[in-house]
Amino acid sequence: MRQAPKIDALPEGLTVGDAPGVLNLGFSGDLNSATVARLWAPALQLARGREGGSLRLELSQAGYIDGAGLALLVKLRAEAEARGANVELVGLSESHAHLLDLAGDAERGAAQKPKDRRGLKALVAGGVGHVVADMVGVVSFVGECSLVVWESLRHPERVRWKDVLLASMAVGVESMPILLLVGFLMGLIMSFQSVITLQRFGGEIFVPNMLGLVMFREMGPLTTAILLAARSGSAFAAEIGTMRVNEELDAMTTMGISPVRFLVGPRILASLAMVPFMTLFFNFASLVGGALVMLSIGFPLVTFTSRVFANVTANDLIGAFVKIIVFSLLVSGVSCLRGLHTGGGASAVGRSTTSAVVSGLILITLADGLFAVLFYYLKI
């Protein structure tokens, strides 16, 4: 067994007693960041010189021990155990001993954690499994939100209508400028591009037919839902995510208040109430853009409006409203879900907001494809 190495001058707060088979390191005073800085190197040098035998850490004279002091004790114990020496701690309080055990377990677990050497097939399978599980969770939460909406309609006295009104203002009224601008520009651009192409065949008169059918049946609900996800869905995720980070949701749960009914319900009701009007305003703005193009090439306004409304049927309007109701439920539901699942850390809210928008766009695309197939078989 090798003896402890000689150190010319021990720092204040560290004493050494080297009995046969036992190295006794005594600590006195506070073990904080200031004192540990001068004790670290000499204590480790003494512990590394111990081959076998026992290392005794005497802490009965130690005062306050902070994280730096616990780190020193963990390091001394790890160095001694690596050289086959037994470690004994004397005079350590129960609270500090518990923290020391937790820190040591964490360090050993990190050192023993096997490296992830999965192949490409396993990685792809794991990623697909994660995506499928996430989609199942989203669908389950959207179903729960549907039940909340149903219960709100059955018992309207339980709904916080003031919150619904405030959310409706944020979802619908405040989004009107960008909604009308996008609708006007889309109608203008689509009509202009269609006129350029159809002029070769003398078919400019069919531009109103195309614009009305495309906007009312497809582009109106789809673009409104995308704007809802980008503007209101991200706000839902950020608001609820911030409450999660600030532990406000935990406080609500402790008081027996359901975050889904208290926070998610009003936002979903507001979305369901406002998106049909938003779609109508979007379609109107797109028709204004199309009418401007038709007027510029010499067609009267009455011709444009008559051909639009002669080509758009009641089934197109009903199908568009069904689409946008489903889209709004999916977008608002998944946005609130991402907010509820916000983790800790400074970037957690940003990640939840990004995930809410991306998930909303994916769900909108999938639902729109399913509606296309369904309407085809239903002859709508």
pLDDT at 83 over 80: no
- The whole-number pLDDT of residue 290 equals 92
For residue 9, the 8-state DSSP code is S
- 204-243 pLDDT, tens digit per residue, is 888 898 898 889 888 999 999 999 999 899 999 999 998 8
Q: Are 183 and 285 in contact (CB under 8 A)?
A: yes
User: How confident is residue 3, by pLDDT bands cut at 50, 70 and 90?
Assistant: low
- The whole-number pLDDT of residue 93 equals 76
User: How confident is residue 50, by pLDDT bands cut at 50, 70 and 90?
Assistant: low
pTM score of the predicted model: 0.66
Q: In this structure, what are the phi and psi dihedrals at residue 29, rounded to the nearest 5 degrees?
A: 85, -175
User: How confident is residue 277, by pLDDT bands cut at 50, 70 and 90?
Assistant: very high
C-alpha to C-alpha distance for 47 and 63, rounded to whole angstroms: 22
The residue ranking higher by pLDDT, 107 or 320, is: 320
Output the DSSP codes for 21-54: TEEEEEEEEEESHHHHHHHHHHHHHHHHT--SSE
pLDDT > 90: percent of the chain? 22
pLDDT at 31 over 70: yes
User: How confident is residue 7, by pLDDT bands cut at 50, 70 and 90?
Assistant: low
For the chain, what's the residue count? 380
Output the DSSP codes for 90-127: ES--HHHHHHHHHHHHHHHHHHHPPP----HHHHHHHH
Question: What does the pLDDT average to over 305-317?
Answer: 87
Contacts for 216 with CB less than 8 Å, ≥ 6 apart = 283, 312, 316, 317, 320
pLDDT at 4 over 60: no
pLDDT at 33 over 90: no
With b for 16 or more beta-carbon neighbours within 10 A and e for fewer, the 211-227 pattern comes to bbbbbbbbbbbbbbbbb
- The whole-number pLDDT of residue 252 equals 86
C-alpha to C-alpha distance for 55 and 90, rounded to whole angstroms: 11
C-alpha to C-alpha distance for 170 and 326, rounded to whole angstroms: 20
**Mean pLDDT of the chain, nearest integer:** 83
In order of their start, the domains of the chain are 14-112 (3.30.750.24), 134-377 (no CATH)
The first and second tokens of residue 172, run together, are: 């619908």
Helix, strand or coil for residue 62? strand
The residue ranking higher by pLDDT, 124 or 161, is: 161
Q: Are 332 and 271 in contact (CB under 8 A)?
A: yes
- The whole-number pLDDT of residue 379 equals 80
Q: In this structure, what are the phi and psi dihedrals at residue 17, rounded to the nearest 5 degrees?
A: -130, 115
The residue ranking higher by pLDDT, 4 or 292, is: 292
Question: What does the pLDDT average to over 86-106?
Answer: 73
The first and second tokens of residue 101, run together, are: 């055990």
Question: What does the pLDDT average to over 358-379?
Answer: 90
- The whole-number pLDDT of residue 1 equals 47
- 104-153 pLDDT, tens digit per residue, is 665 555 555 555 566 677 777 777 777 778 778 777 887 888 888 888 88
The residue ranking higher by pLDDT, 159 or 357, is: 357
- 119-132 pLDDT, tens digit per residue, is 677 777 777 777 77
The residue ranking higher by pLDDT, 56 or 191, is: 191
C-alpha to C-alpha distance for 332 and 327, rounded to whole angstroms: 9
- The whole-number pLDDT of residue 357 equals 92
- The whole-number pLDDT of residue 184 equals 95
The first and second tokens of residue 107, run together, are: 């360090």
Query: Considering only 75-89, 189-203, 328-342, which range has the smallest mean pLDDT?
Result: 75-89
C-alpha to C-alpha distance for 151 and 261, rounded to whole angstroms: 10
Closest CA to 46 of 72, 24, 73: 24
Q: H/E element holding 265? A: helix 265-296
